[in-house]
Structure 1
Amino acid sequence: MTDVATLPPGYPVQWEADVVLRDGSVAHVRPITPADAERVHRFHARQSEESIYMRFFAPLRQLSDRDVKRFTNVDYVDRVALVATVRDEIVGIGRYDRVTRNSAEVAFNISDHFQGRGVGSVMLEHLATIAQEAGITEFTAEVLPQNRKMLSVFSDAGYEVERSFEDGVVSIRFEIKPTERSEAVRLSREHRAEAVSMRSVLFPDTIAVIGASRRPDSIGHQILANILGAGFNGAVYAVNNEAMEVLGLAAYARVTEVPDHVDLAVVAVPAAQVLEVVEECAEAGVKTLLVVSAGFAEAGAEGAELQNRLLHTARGAGMRVIGPNSFGVINSDADVRLNASLAPELPPPGHLGLFSQSGALGIAVLASAARRNLGISVFASAGNRVDVSGNDFMQYWIDDPQTHAVGLYLESMGNPRKFSRIARRLAATKPVIVVKSGVSSYGVPPGHRARQTRVRPEAFDAMLRQAGVIRVENVHQMFDVAQLVVHQPLPKGRRVAVVGNSDALGALTAEACVSWGLEVTHGPVSLPSEAKGEQFSEALAKAFADPSVDSVLTCFIPPLVTPDEDVATAVREAALTSDKPCLATFLGMRGVTAQLSGSDSEPEGRREVVPAYSMPEDAVRALAAATRYAEWLGRDRGIPVLPSGIDRAAAERVVTSALETHPEGRKLTLEEVTELLAAYGISLWGSVPVRTVDEAVAAAEALGYPVVVKSVAPLLRHQPGMGGIRVDLASEGEVRAAFAGLNDRLAPLAANTFVVQKMATPGVPCVVRTDEDPLFGPVVSFSVAGPPTELLGDIGHRIPPLTDVDVSDLISSVKAAPMLHGHRGAAPVHRAALADLIARMSVLADNLPEVASLVLNPVNAHPGGVDVLGAEVTVAAPPRRKDPGRRSLT
């Protein structure tokens, strides 16, 4: 990040971002400053004559100081320029100059050495987002027709580009408002770039172990030994400035002396030496750093500062960083055989991708997989997660044909919005299983870059459900699910057959099915304990053939007569004849066993392994998780909500005006709240504050009978019951009596602050709210008002942006939802109107991070629509969101 002390006035620090380019390397994007003058001169001097002519339409071999001063001195409002830098040298310049109130001319100049890496696309993306914030809606540009690369930057970005040709120049015009296509292009480019950046980690041609000691008990020695012991198929170099050779390899004093290009550098030196090593890696052109060294942010404030300098140095040189304090990475691919980790052996190859933030837990995760004979495709430990996170590996796993399911052990989450977005895409193709014990600040380990969150844990659960992620409570449950979804087809429904050789075990299994929402439609079938293998085969064949069965659960106590192998063979062979999933409970057996695995001679591509569980409850829990995931896969995801009649500019004026006078934030007045909501098509019912009975009568006359008189004192606001309100007042006399009664009762409590409001149609009172969370960003919540909200915490949550299906699910997620659908003979509420209100709230929350809190309470839902009877809004200067509308590493 730029040194704040040297920044010009008005410099927008929030525009700075590290971005992954098309080749997987990293560049830093930031606003230009007058201090960049010499860098601009050097940049221009390195450009070819062709590139100079394409940019300036003239052979300007040298820029004048006057030109450079004009280029580098901008106001960051009407004249904006960004530079992309690598190793503090400019590799790209993008700028716009406002031409009219809504239009600006845009231009780019990309280094010859960085063309084709996506620098121009990134800068267009960032400039478009900045311009929209300034009220610009359209970009124009003039490009020479032979400049096909720049022409493709505009057209390939997903915008609707208009072109005209005049006087030998192509004039371009396009609206910069994001479209479905432009968003798809942006996310696809982000995905490809971040996935490519992981390939240098998982498929390196060359590895250098820096700190490869000759001492067997040192970390560097162990990792080098593990790399060599796994039979890594690339070149390996030892870097040690105190030895001539390590483990039979010639040792080099510095990585810059290695006679090869290094893709992956494993850094295993004391923390105090890491920065010097990182700088040498930058000089050597290393692509990725795997820092296993400890002693960084987990060790205290001094270590945290060292960790920040590590990140800044590495990203400034275009490198990705795994760690520090990482356990390592593993790729079991036969063409790679990479074990750059502290695991003494390369796990058997398989189809489960694993990610763990903790090194110690990484050991436990791999050990648990080994005990179950569960093969691994890729394993990675992020350590302190200073740069590379689970999001990056998920981007890789989306397209990895060797990975059929993914398990993530998360101790913290730095960017939940991006996680949700990537996880949803990954889960659409393969199961994603997450172990996350909590989201509070107490659960964030020392050293992890993570903001504190104020949301309830239920919001995190809701985010995972939105994304189709399977959440489990521990590693044991993660592997219970993994061994099922890796080796068996997904269930097509909730109907289950139970077959076993014990009445008690069958009943226990059936009860577990019911408790997890599964339906036992076949059995429990209990064979005699002395039954032969043929009897087991016959019973299982009937279960698989039953059209009312979607999954088969087998549960066996080790028989006294029939050998275990015969039963296991019967289970496996019966499962091979069907496309229905099969799970086996053999008391004392867990994982993928030889008896339940197919032989190498069986047809390729068939599900040959039946997962075994030691207890039926484990099997049923795993089956229920897989069933819910299959249901999510089969559901319509919906379309993003885009309510009509939204005036975002009007809403922004309300928020900006409030923060101009109170930068620290404040509650909006009733008039401001009404104006803000109206900008998003939400009508707030009027209420008239009254202090005397005569004012109450006058207000009632103005509003029209019937009316309500209610206290708005904080003591009684939104409390269950009717202690502070009188309803359905149809005359002056009723208003006078109601006011007097309430005043006498509430004055001793200092709660006699009243308003008069029009009487609403009888309906179901609801609460709709949004909160801007430092970690999650906007969170939308819905509940039925009164005891369900206040006493039972029956509140649903979703993370915008929402689809129409998300909104519908949010309404149905609360236990009190039947009250909306005609409970006990009441007429159902207008669900579509309620959904439209929530959709508008979600878009408002997504658009306006300055809205710290917005509560609609009560929302009266009735058969004819919804009425917003009360609203409170608090605005504040927002924290920078972790997933902005442009590519950025956070």
Structure 2
Amino acid sequence: MADVVPGDGHPGPVPAPAPAAAPYPAGWEADVVLTDGSTTRLRPIRRDDADALQAFHVAQSERSTYLRFFASLERLPERDLERLVTVDHMSRVALVAVSSSPDAGEDERIIGVARYDLVEPETAEVAFNISDAHQGKGLASVLLEHLAAAARERGVRRFVAEVLPQNGRMLAVFKEAGYVVRQRTEDGVVQVRFDIDPTDRSLAVAADREHRAEARSMRALLTARSVVVVGPGTGSGPGRTLPARQAARVLEGLVPEARTGRVVVHAVGVGDGAGLDANGVSHHLRIDDVPGPVELAVVALPAQLVPDAARRLGALGARGLVVVSGGFAEAGPEGLARQRLLLGVAHGAGMRVVGPSSFGLLATHDGTTLDASLAARPPRPGRVGLFCQSAPLAVTLLAAVERRGLGLAQLVSAGHRADVSGNDLMQFWGEDDDTDVVALYLESIGNPRKFSRVARRLAAHKPVVVLTAGRSGHVVPPGHAVRPTQAPRRTLEEVLRRSGVIRVENVHQMLDVVQVLAHQALPTGRRTAVLASSTGVAALVAEAAAAAGLVVTGCVELLAEDAGADEVRAAVDRVYADPGVDVVVVVRIPTLGVQDTVLPGEVARAAARTGRTTVACLDDLHGVTASLTAADPDGRERTVPAYAAPEDAALALGLAARYAAWRATDRGRPVHPEGVDTRAAGSLVARLLSTSGATDRAPLPLDPAQAAELLAAAGIHLWPSVRVHDAQDAVRAADALGWPVAVKTTVPALRHRADLGGVRLDVADETELRADVAGILALAAEHDPGPGVPPLEVQAMAPHGVACVVRAVEDPLFGPVISVGLAGDASDLLGDVAYGVPPLTDVDVAELVRTPRAAPRMFGYRGLPALDVAALEDLVARVSVLADALPDLRSLELNPVVVSPQGLAVLGAYGSVAPADRADAARRLARP
């Protein structure tokens, strides 16, 4: 299976006519995580890789060389070496995986190669060769994913390969990739053939591989038991620089575990001298003096020194690099270049990078606390995973966590999020048995599509609470690499809602929700009982509960301020004995400020005994307290969280109940409408772009025929229409289409404005048509429909129904954004539009159609007949699949879509295409 060396007795592929060479495809460069948690860089091969490729070949075992070339070759002949590094990035493509050599400065070593050669239209022969030292790490699978993605961009639809039967690993890579593989054996060689269009299974396989790899890379950081702290070595006096103070603070946090020997700690440039100090920390003068291997490195250095330090730390075998110092992307172009250099060095050495400008990380595992952070003191251990970005936010969060008595399993600050992001931590938390609840404070989301997919997977079995710095996703803090977005400000909210995460407004709410989810059972429903100290308080609580989406059942128990212990127990028992109650809100506000010593314990024991989710507002209790803690029947301690105000308690409980309802609901299956031919649609778009000169700033508008052809590829019928110049042409068009007809202006400002006279419906004869044409032309006289566009359009009348609008827009940040709403100015002006980001499930589509507030008009509103909503759902599903598959489809608007009791009619379609660069590949790390 390969480019074959001439003379080895194995015929090579017959090359197809080669198109002109394409420019170097920088967009194919990627940083990836392998299944052992290490990193590597993928990029297209270059002609100057000849020496590195020869070195890679020479280092391979005789068996690996034979399996690759079907012959034993000690060295590649110069002629073949030249051919292997010469590609056109079109019909001949090769990707290499590279790593840095610690002993050779910045030199790269090739550790894997994947290539394809076009052998016939849409078919390419593929070959793979993986370094002996890197086999078993999933590198071949990653290369296959990337090579298939590159091939699809070039119009290749299937791969073929020839594999020796004893090459079981390569055959397994093809079979396990999720494609439908066909194989047969001929002349002692296994012939493999498979289509490379993504399938649900291939996407699931890729996502699962990514999940396991990223989770393992985070586990290596959070469970590290050997750490090196690198500082600038400027002494310990009062005039220390900020990096020196940062390094000293990190080292202080590691000292407790260094004393016990549970964590081996080294220090370079922190303090004075060298040798083992009284705290068990080994001090060294240079990084090269540190005895390896070391699992984690924390660096606080001037920015210009960090890349070289990273190179040396990679030689020690470090799996993670935490950069707490700044001076990178936030410092302008020079700092951004420095950050890119740092990532290149780190990823080439197999390291993940936390930061720069990170607060560090904290983690407790198996009784050992790894405090590689700037925290003055670590939080108490717990079962909450916390992620934030900037260091100041981490300070705020830790202070709030301490005030509430919450415990943390992990805290990770990503700083500028140059590499490690919230997505990586969510992958880890999905596999971590020590974490029950996840909370993320996000200043920015670099890849909302991946975030949505990863969050949805995690939220299916663990609560995910999210606080964003801006509701819209438009906020871009200094140093963060985030693409611009033109998506409506509600798009991010919809993405998060459909992902199942719990969206909150501030830190206060985030921790309010976290403490109920971490210490109480998940609500089984919304039916709410209230135990209050007065009628007025009960009414206040009931109102707050209703506002939070809870349902007060009528189980309201009043407890007098002077009630005795027996009365308290009886009241508590009555509340928790009611079978019609799912959750309980307990509020006691004593007018005399006398602390109640009975009620907290009774409530805690009843909540733990019954599993009823409970929140409380009692006396001076706040957060997680011993007074409200009791053991459940399994022996696990449960704490009723205490809040400062009833509204806070009710809101947290309501959000928890909403999440529980989402988790209990079937989220559906990915939509795959029959008759959607994305290949044909992609070929049409590629053909249009190849001759148009369209650019990102000047997309190519689709004419009616092109729009109809594109929609037909998706199985969508666009009602035919005829554009005409005058009344005589309009009459001929109506005769051809069939009466009655609709006649409308093509002027954009009046195109859908029946209320202004731009559209005339149910035109039944020639006389009426001529009069309507005259009226429309007079109305549009002062408007220009556009160069070469006739001023009128005639179309056969569709059945009456409700007019809707379905849109798809390719956004640089979110990718394809689908919107659905009823047609008309009112919907646009009031923002009565629902948004979704593909890929969508059937449940997502149903919600999208039903979300607009005007949607009841389609469901028998005020006695009108119900419309064919299923037909609209099918249309939305087709548009979503089309938009997801075609990033070059810059915009598509179906307007109007008339939904009738039986079916629908797409009466207008408007779109544009332009070259796109959708950076949403799930397997790629975030890179600036």
Q: 2:349 aligns with which of 317, 337, 349?
A: 317
For 1:3, the equivalent position in structure 2 comes to none
| Inter-partner Cα distance in structure 2 for 1:633 and 1:643 | 26
Q: Alpha carbons of 1:197 and 1:821: their partners in 2 closer, same or farther (altered >3 Å)?
A: same
Contact conserved, 1:507 with 1:524, CA < 8 A, in 2?
no
Give the superposition deviation at 1:560.
4.5
For 1:639, the equivalent position in structure 2 comes to 669
Give the superposition deviation at 1:495.
1.1
Give the superposition deviation at 1:16.
1.5
Q: 2:600 aligns with which of 568, 571, 575?
A: 568
Aligned positions of 1:162-561 closer than 5 A: 162-211=182-231, 214-215=235-236, 218-229=245-256, 233-240=262-269, 243-245=272-274, 248=278, 249-438=281-470, 443-558=475-590, 560=592
Give the superposition deviation at 1:112.
1.1
Range 128-137 or range 680-689, more displaced: 128-137
Give the superposition deviation at 1:813.
1.0
For 2:31, the equivalent position in structure 1 comes to 18
Give the superposition deviation at 1:403.
0.5
Q: Alpha carbons of 1:9 and 1:166: their partners in 2 closer, same or farther (altered >3 Å)?
A: closer
| Inter-partner Cα distance in structure 2 for 1:648 and 1:8 | 26
Query: Matched residue of 1:531: which SS?
Result: coil
| Inter-partner Cα distance in structure 2 for 1:171 and 1:135 | 22
Query: Matched residue of 2:604: which SS?
Result: helix
| Inter-partner Cα distance in structure 1 for 2:926 and 2:66 | 33
For 2:642, the equivalent position in structure 1 comes to 612
Q: Alpha carbons of 1:560 and 1:94: their partners in 2 closer, same or farther (altered >3 Å)?
A: same
| Inter-partner Cα distance in structure 1 for 2:760 and 2:496 | 43
Q: Alpha carbons of 1:746 and 1:15: their partners in 2 closer, same or farther (altered >3 Å)?
A: closer
Q: Alpha carbons of 1:889 and 1:47: their partners in 2 closer, same or farther (altered >3 Å)?
A: farther
For 1:692, the equivalent position in structure 2 comes to 726
| Inter-partner Cα distance in structure 1 for 2:771 and 2:635 | 80
Q: Alpha carbons of 1:817 and 1:45: their partners in 2 closer, same or farther (altered >3 Å)?
A: same
| Inter-partner Cα distance in structure 1 for 2:798 and 2:620 | 63
| Inter-partner Cα distance in structure 2 for 1:42 and 1:456 | 52
| Inter-partner Cα distance in structure 2 for 1:591 and 1:242 | 39
Q: 1:734 aligns with which of 765, 768, 771?
A: 768
Query: Matched residue of 2:465: which SS?
Result: strand
Total equivalences in the alignment? 881
Q: 1:827 aligns with which of 861, 865, 882?
A: 865
Q: 2:50 aligns with which of 37, 42, 58?
A: 37
Contact conserved, 1:532 with 1:562, CA < 8 A, in 2?
no
1:832-872 Cα deviation digits (max 9, x unpaired): 10000000000010011111111111111111111111111
Query: Matched residue of 1:612: which SS?
Result: coil
Q: 1:856 aligns with which of 890, 894, 898?
A: 894
Q: Alpha carbons of 1:183 and 1:743: their partners in 2 closer, same or farther (altered >3 Å)?
A: closer
Contact conserved, 1:438 with 1:457, CA < 8 A, in 2?
no
Give the superposition deviation at 1:430.
0.3
For 1:123, the equivalent position in structure 2 comes to 143
For 1:95, the equivalent position in structure 2 comes to 115
| Inter-partner Cα distance in structure 2 for 1:713 and 1:136 | 41
Contact conserved, 1:190 with 1:887, CA < 8 A, in 2?
no
Q: Alpha carbons of 1:689 and 1:11: their partners in 2 closer, same or farther (altered >3 Å)?
A: same
Query: Which residue type is aligned with residue 307 of structure 2?
Result: L
Unaligned runs of 5+ in 1: 1-6
TM-score, normalised on structure 1?
Answer: 0.95
Q: Alpha carbons of 1:322 and 1:478: their partners in 2 closer, same or farther (altered >3 Å)?
A: same
| Inter-partner Cα distance in structure 2 for 1:73 and 1:558 | 82
Query: Which residue type is aligned with residue 633 of structure 1?
Result: R
Contact conserved, 1:230 with 1:345, CA < 8 A, in 2?
no
Query: Which residue type is aligned with residue 119 of structure 1?
Result: L
Say if 2:174 is the partner of 1:161.
Answer: no
Query: Matched residue of 1:463: which SS?
Result: helix
Aligned positions of 1:645-724 closer than 5 A: 645-660=675-690, 661-664=692-695, 665-719=699-753, 721-724=755-758
Query: Which residue type is aligned with residue 642 of structure 1?
Result: H
Contact conserved, 1:720 with 1:786, CA < 8 A, in 2?
no
Say if 2:878 is the partner of 1:840.
Answer: yes
Q: What percentage of aligned pairs have identical amino acids?
A: 48
Range 155-164 or range 807-816, more displaced: 155-164
Query: Which residue type is aligned with residue 177 of structure 2?
Result: A
Query: Matched residue of 1:141: which SS?
Result: strand
Q: What's the Cα RMSD here?
A: 2.2
Q: Alpha carbons of 1:720 and 1:403: their partners in 2 closer, same or farther (altered >3 Å)?
A: farther
Give the superposition deviation at 1:67.
1.4
Query: Which residue type is aligned with residue 884 of structure 1?
Result: A
Q: Alpha carbons of 1:163 and 1:228: their partners in 2 closer, same or farther (altered >3 Å)?
A: same
Range 161-170 or range 187-196, more displaced: 161-170
| Inter-partner Cα distance in structure 2 for 1:493 and 1:802 | 27
Give the superposition deviation at 1:735.
1.3
| Inter-partner Cα distance in structure 2 for 1:885 and 1:347 | 33
| Inter-partner Cα distance in structure 2 for 1:633 and 1:166 | 51
| Inter-partner Cα distance in structure 2 for 1:447 and 1:229 | 33
Query: Which residue type is aligned with residue 448 of structure 1?
Result: H
Query: Which residue type is aligned with residue 113 of structure 1?
Result: A
Contact conserved, 1:297 with 1:303, CA < 8 A, in 2?
yes
Query: Matched residue of 1:93: which SS?
Result: strand
Give the superposition deviation at 1:439.
5.5
For 2:830, the equivalent position in structure 1 comes to 792
Contact conserved, 1:768 with 1:780, CA < 8 A, in 2?
yes
1:305-336 Cα deviation digits (max 9, x unpaired): 22222222222222211000000100022443
Query: Matched residue of 1:215: which SS?
Result: coil
| Inter-partner Cα distance in structure 1 for 2:109 and 2:780 | 70
Q: Alpha carbons of 1:797 and 1:293: their partners in 2 closer, same or farther (altered >3 Å)?
A: same
Range 82-91 or range 440-449, more displaced: 440-449
Query: Matched residue of 2:748: which SS?
Result: coil
Q: Alpha carbons of 1:864 and 1:442: their partners in 2 closer, same or farther (altered >3 Å)?
A: closer
For 1:56, the equivalent position in structure 2 comes to 69
Contact conserved, 1:530 with 1:560, CA < 8 A, in 2?
no
